[in-house]
């Protein structure tokens, strides 16, 4: 048990306060920019929608508080950066191992962009890279399980689920199940996604692919995260070829997300 804060604790508190103060300042600035009673002036981005919810509720009990808005912004900021960088890391690792797919991805990028920066039209046509990213998400999903609570009784196959039951969905187990994905479920094979998510499984059920969960509580930033990875990966492939470093030790570990414990060591070769 710690009775005194060490240097790491003090630094952590300092960073947390800095993030808190920055978000509070942003929220207050947005509030001051509201034009009279026009709630539309909050904007149509994530923060604007939260502020509208704060002011639109007729009942104070249903009102989302400013403190909750700040917490949501923290979550959105953290999830929007951490999980995206981890997804990019796993993708680079798998392409460093599977250099044939790395070359296919580079050929696609060169065909669409040449040496120019990626553009929105080309990004939407990155089929090979989309397959690679989906396969990476299948093998190494950001979260290895999802939690849900039943609001009312339900029947799932032969099982009766009572109301208020806490359920954990083992996403990693589902993604590696040979009955769903075939005998090569443990292997990196982006080709399985050549017909899209719905055609990737043996059971033709897109609900078996859960990297961002499903339903009303699916990840709100999933499309944005994938677009970020497509852009970053395209720019890397334009400039570098990469192979796995002999020093790499494969050791996935679950922290805030499933990540390589010792980082991703690759050798870059400028093109």
Report the C-alpha gap between 230 and 113 in whole angstroms. 12
Look-up: residue for tokens 């993604």? 175
Q: Look at residue 189 and give its three-state secondary structure.
A: coil
Q: Where in the chain is the domain with CATH 1.10.630.10?
A: 85-239
Alpha-helix runs per DSSP H in the chain? 7-32, 46-56, 66-97, 99-113, 120-123, 127-139, 171-175, 178-181, 222-239
| 35 DSSP β-pair partners | 38
Over residues 172-200, the pLDDT tens digits come to 999 999 999 999 999 999 999 999 998 99
User: What is the maximum span of the chain, computed from C-alpha positions, in angstroms?
Assistant: 62
pTM value is: 0.79
CB 54 within 8 A of CB 73: no
CB 148 within 8 A of CB 169: yes
Angle 81-46-207 (CA atoms, 0-180°, nearest 5)? 70
Q: Which residues of the chain have pLDDT under 50?
A: 1
DSSP secondary structure, 90-153, as one string: HHHHHHHH-HHHHHHHHHHHHHHHTTSPP-HHHHTT-HHHHHHHHHHHHHS-S-S-EEEE-SS-
Report the C-alpha gap between 257 and 71 in whole angstroms. 19
Q: Which are the contacts of 20, defined by CB distance < 8 A and separation ≥ 6?
A: 70, 74
How close are the terminal C-alpha atoms of the chain, in Å?
Answer: 52
Alpha-carbon dihedral angle through residues 193, 194, 198, 201, given to the nearest 10 degrees = -50
Report the C-alpha gap between 137 and 210 in whole angstroms. 9
Does the domain at 85-239 match CATH 2.40.50.140? Answer given as: no
Report the C-alpha gap between 33 and 144 in whole angstroms. 41
CB 51 within 8 A of CB 30: yes
Kind and range of the H or E element at 154?
A: strand 154-156
Chain centroid to Cα 109, Å, comes to: 22
């Amino acid at each position: 048990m710690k009775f005194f804060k060490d240097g790491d604790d003090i630094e952590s508190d300092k960073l947390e306060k800095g993030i808190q103060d920055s978000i509070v300042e942003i929220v207050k600035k947005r509030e001051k920019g509201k034009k009279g009673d026009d709630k539309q002036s909050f904007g149509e981005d994530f923060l604007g929608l939260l502020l509208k919810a704060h002011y639109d509720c007729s009942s104070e009990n249903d009102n989302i508080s400013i403190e909750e808005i700040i917490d949501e912004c923290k979550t959105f900021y953290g999830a929007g950066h951490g999980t995206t960088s981890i997804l990019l890391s796993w993708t680079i690792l798998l392409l460093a191992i599977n250099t044939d797919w790395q070359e296919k991805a580079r050929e696609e990028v060169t065909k669409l962009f040449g040496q120019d920066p990626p553009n929105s039209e080309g990004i939407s046509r990155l089929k090979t890279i989309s397959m690679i990213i989906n396969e990476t998400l299948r093998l190494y999903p950001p979260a290895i399980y999802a939690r849900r609570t039943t609001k009312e009784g339900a029947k799932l196959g032969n099982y009766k689920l009572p109301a208020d039951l806490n359920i954990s969905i083992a996403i990693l187990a589902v993604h590696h199940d040979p009955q769903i994905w075939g005998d090569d479920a443990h292997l990196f094979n982006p080709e399985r996604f050549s017909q899209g998510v719905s055609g990737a499984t043996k059971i033709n059920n897109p609900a078996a692919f859960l990297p961002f969960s499903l339903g009303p509580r699916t990840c709100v930033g999933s499309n944005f995260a994938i677009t970020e990875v497509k852009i970053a990966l395209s720019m890397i492939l334009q400039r570098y070829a990469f192979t796995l470093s002999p020093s790499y030790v494969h050791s996935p570990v679950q922290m805030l997300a499933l990540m390589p414990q010792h980082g991703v060591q690759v050798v870059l070769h400028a093109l």
